[in-house]
Amino acid sequence: MKNYDRVSIGYKVVGRGEKKVIALHSWMDDAESWNLMIPFLDIEKFTYVFMDLRGYGSSKQIKGIYNSDEVVSDLFNLADDLKWNNFYLIGHSMSGLIAQKAALLDINNRILKIALVTPVSAGGFEADESTINFFKSIVQNEEVATIAYGVFTSNRLSDFWKRIRAKRHIEITHDEAQLAYIDMWTKESFLEKMTDIKKHFLVLSGQYDFQQFRSEQQTMVFKDFQMVEHITLENSGHFPMQECPVYLTSVIENYFALS
């Protein structure tokens, strides 16, 4: 794995349990997006670290190349700083791709299991030019970000929720990082390398997510993984940590608790 400049990446710790978990956020959110799950985490069994990627949240001012290898390097450096030899990993949306890259580069077999929440696959997010331009238009545009939160939840949630998330999105993201990460999750592809990876994956799809993230598509793109389970989160779109936090917490902790 390539060595990137070592930085003090931002993160938040919750819990004191023996099972260690690192959670990575989506392209539209920072580590705060997991907050609604925190009251329901089993903090006696688990210790969670919610990490902010470069350009987001408490890492907003940290510059970088903003590709998956760099995030994986930051991830393992953080685990080293925490003195965590082994840990579980959660990746949401674009960080689902990052979590898969972490599994690929995990030469010391430190990652025990991986939960992928409405993930971009290791094959990347296939999008035409107009779709990519739509994502680029979200950057630092609260009005378009509000529309996007609706698109990724089938417009089932309140306008107030969409506006809150869109406002937060603008406040906690750096435009340079966001634009670069779009290139990461639409152009990076290493799916063919994942077929030999002997790690357990749980893929969680939202019933009301954008079509490309729903269970039918996820089952197809992950079909050649050696050890993968699929669960559809009913009554959820792309942001289950916001839409059904109790259920998402239960599913992930039950999965990690199994040997």
**75 lies in a domain?**
yes
How does DSSP classify residue 224?
T
- How many angstroms separate the CA atoms of 239 and 216, rounded? 18
**170 lies in a domain?**
no
Which pLDDT does position 259 carry in this prediction?
66
Model confidence pLDDT, tens digit, residues 2-18 = 677 788 999 999 999 99
- How many angstroms separate the CA atoms of 95 and 153, rounded? 18
**63 lies in a domain?**
yes
Model confidence pLDDT, tens digit, residues 22-61 = 999 999 999 999 999 999 999 999 999 999 999 999 999 9
- How many angstroms separate the CA atoms of 55 and 175, rounded? 8
**99 lies in a domain?**
yes
Looking at every residue in the chain, the average pLDDT score rounds to 96
Model confidence pLDDT, tens digit, residues 220-258 = 999 999 999 999 999 999 999 999 999 999 999 999 998
How does DSSP classify residue 84?
-
Identify the CATH number of the domain in which residue 101 sits: 3.40.50.1820
**199 lies in a domain?**
yes
**160 lies in a domain?**
no
- How many angstroms separate the CA atoms of 13 and 50, rounded? 7
**147 lies in a domain?**
no
**90 lies in a domain?**
yes
Model confidence pLDDT, tens digit, residues 58-113 = 999 999 999 999 999 999 999 999 999 999 999 999 999 999 999 999 999 999 99
Which pLDDT does position 217 carry in this prediction?
94
**Residue of 170, 120, 127, 178 lying closest to 145 (CA atoms):** 170
Which pLDDT does position 4 carry in this prediction?
76
pLDDT greater than 70 at residue 168? yes
pTM here is: 0.97
H-only helix segments in 62-191: 68-81, 94-105, 129-138, 142-151, 159-172, 175-187
**Structural domain that includes position 229:** 11-124+189-257
Which pLDDT does position 34 carry in this prediction?
98
* 8 A C-beta contact, residue 100 and residue 116: yes
Which pLDDT does position 258 carry in this prediction?
87
- Domain count along the chain: 1
